[in-house]
Chains A and B, each alone.
Chain A
Amino acid sequence: MGFFTRSKQNISPDSQKREVPDGQWVKCKECEEIIHVKQLELHSWVCHKCGYHFRIGSEEYIQLLFDKGTFKESNKKMRSVDPLGFVDTKKYSDRISASIKKTGLNDAVRTGIGKIDGNKVSFACMDFKFIGGSMGSVVGEKIARAIDKAYDQKIPMIIISQSGGARMMEAALSLMQMVKTSSRLARLADAKIPYISVLTDPTTGGTTASYAMLGDVNIAEPTALIGFAGPRVIKETIGRDLPEGFQRSEFLEEHGFIDLIVERKDMKEKLSHLIGYMT
C-alpha cells in the first residue's frame, strides 16, 4: 500500500515544466513532443499528438467537469493532526506542513457540490501531489461527508481517485478509512443513489480496495495504473517480469473490473449521460 512506488512516468505538468527552460513548454512523456502549456490546457492536459494523459489535480478536474462557477467546496480547512506522533526519517507533522506549503492544499482530497450540465452532484477528487494521494483520516472523513451529502440531498456521488493507497503514517487509522467510506457507500447504494467512480493514474492499495472499486459504474482514464499491490511488489513475489500493459486501465477492462475507459476530453459528457440514465 505504499505510495513511494511513483514511477518516472506520468509526471505532473508542474514538475515537468521545470525541465524546460522558460517554464511555458512541457515535454510529452510518451512521444516527447514539446507542447506549450496553454495548448495543453486547451486539450484537457492530453497530448494532442499521441493522446497521453498528463497527470492533473483537483483544480483541473473541477475546471474540466463543472459548469462554470457552480462548484462550492466543503470542509476546506480540515487537516491531519498526526495522531500517532509518527516519525520515520522525517516527522509526519513536518511532511504535512511541507506538503501544505508546496501544494497549497490541506490534504489529498477536495470535496464539494457542483453542477455537471445542470445536474447537481456531490464530488470528491484526490490529489496525488499531496503525499502521494495517500488516504488518511482527512481523506476518509471528507469523502464520508461528501457521500452523506449525496445521501441527504439525493444527488449522485462522483469520486475521482488518484492515490498510492492508505497513508502509512496514520497506520491502522488509515486502514479504517476504507471501512468508513465503504460503509457510507453501502448506505448510498441502499437508497438507490448513483455513485460513479473515476480511476486515474495511479490508483492503488487501500484506495482501490475500497471506494474506487465500488462504483455503480467504474470509469478509468486511458492507460492509468490501477491495482491493489504495486507492480514492484508483485514482480518480487512472482520472480519474473510483468506482462506488457499489466494493471493498466485496458487490462482491468479486459478482466471485468472497469466498465469503460473514457478519454479526458469526453469525461464530462459521459458522466452527464450516465447520470441521466441513473437518476
Chain B
Amino acid sequence: MNSNTLDFEKPINELEKKIEEMKEYEDNLDIREEIEKLEEKVITLKKNVFKNLTRWQRVQLARHPERPYTLDYIYLMTEDFIELHGDRTYRDDKAIIGGFAKIDEYKVMIIGQQKGRDTKSNVLRNFGMANPEGYRKALRLMKLAEKFNKPVITLIDTPGAYPGLEAEQNGQAEAIARNLLEMSRLKVPIIVVIIGEGASGGALGIGVGDRILMLENTWYSVISPESCSSILWRSWDYKEQAAEALKLTAEDLLELKIIDRIIPEPLGGAHKDHKLMAVTLKEVLKEELENLVKVKPEKMLQNRIEKFGKMGAYTE
C-alpha cells in the first residue's frame, strides 16, 4: 500500500486495489458483475467515511502529500502562464509563486504558496513557508495586476510564514502587515482560495479579498492544531482536541461567516482526481470572476472593508 495513505483511507484504497487487480483478469474470466458490485461498494464506503470525517481528519487530508498544489492547478486550469520572479529588492522566494495566466477568457494574476513533493523540492520551496520577500513579491505582482486592471487570484497552502532568523531580521511581520493594508485597497477584484493548509498570518498574508473560498477538505485558522495543543495543553498530544476546539474546517468557517463558499472535492478527496478538482475550481473561479468584474471599483473596495469589518463576535 502507498505510504501516503491515511489510516481512514486504508479500507478504501484496499478495495480500489482489489478492483484494479480484478480488471486485469476481466477478459479471461466472466467477472464483470463482481467488479461492478465492488465499484458500487467502494463508492458507498467512500461516502460513509467522508460523511463522518473529524476535524483532525480534514487537517490530515489538507496536508495529504498527493494533493494538488498551486502549480498543479495552474497547469490544469490555466493557459499561457508566465511566471514572474522576485521582490525587486532582495531575492526570489520559491515558497510563493506568481504570474499572469489565462482562465479561458479571463486574464488574471495568479499567486500561491507552493509546497514540494519530495525532499529536494521541499528544500527549494521551504515546505511552502514564505519569507518576507515572498510576501513582498506577492504584493509587487498584485500591484502589477492593478496597474493593468487584471483580477488577482490567490491560492493558499501553507503551514505558516517561516519562523526563521533571517525572516525576522527582514521584517516578516511588516511584510504581512503591509500586504493586509495594501490588499484591502487594491483596485482590482481579488479571489482567495484555500486549497490546502491555511495557517495563521502566513496564510492571511495573501488572504485578503472580495471572495474567500475554501476547498472542502482544507483548514484555516490562527494556529495549527499541534502548536495550539503545545501551548494550551502544554503537550503535543492534544492535536485532535485542538482541531475540534479551533473549528477550522470549511464548514465551520462558512458558519462563522469568514468564508463565502465551499468548493466540493472529488469523492475521496482532491488527491484522488487532480483533473476533476481543477475543473471544478476553474468553473467556480469563472463564475466568481463574472460577478466581480461587474462591480464598480469604489463599491468593491467599500464592500471589501465592510466584509472584514463584520467579522468577530462581542457584546456591549
A contact set with B: CB distance below 8 Å: 1-2, 4, 75, 77-81, 83-84, 86-89, 136-138, 140-141, 144, 166-180, 182-187, 189-190, 205-206, 208-214, 226-229, 233-234, 237-238, 242-243, 246-247, 251, 255-257
Contact = CB atoms under 8 A, between A and B. Distances in A.
Given A141-B312, A213-B177, A171 B163 contact: no
B143 to A, nearest CB: 14
B308 interface: yes
A180 B223 contact: no
Interface stretch (B29-37, B39-47, B225-233, B263-271): B225-233
Given A88-B233, A171-B221, A183-B208, 17 more contacts: A80-B314, A83-B313, A84-B245, A87-B245, A89-B233, A166-B223, A172-B256, A178-B201, A186-B181, A205-B201, A208-B173, A209-B174, A214-B177, A228-B161, A229-B172, A246-B168, A257-B173
Contact of A171 (B172, B184, B248): B248
A269 B16 CA distance: 73
B253 to A, nearest CB: 6
B220 A182 contact: no
Contacts of B231: 2, 4, 168
A173 to B, nearest CB: 6
A227 B312 contact: no
Interface of B is mostly: helix
18 contacts: A4-B232, A81-B315, A87-B245, A88-B242, A166-B200, A166-B201, A175-B200, A175-B204, A178-B204, A179-B184, A182-B181, A183-B305, A184-B309, A185-B181, A209-B176, A209-B201, A210-B176, A234-B163
Interface of B: 161-165, 167-174, 176-178, 180-182, 184-185, 200-201, 204-205, 207-208, 220-223, 227-228, 231-233, 238, 241-242, 245-248, 252-253, 256, 258, 304-305, 308-309, 311-316
Contacts of B162: 237
A172 B201 contact: no
Contact of A183 (B165, B174, B181): B181
Given A171-B246, A182-B180, A183-B308, A229 B314 contact: no
Contacts of A228: 161, 163, 167-168, 172-173, 176, 201
Contacts of A237: 162-164
B312 A75 contact: no
B312 A1 contact: no
B188 to A, nearest CB: 15
Contacts of B177: 178, 182, 208-214
A175 B312 contact: no
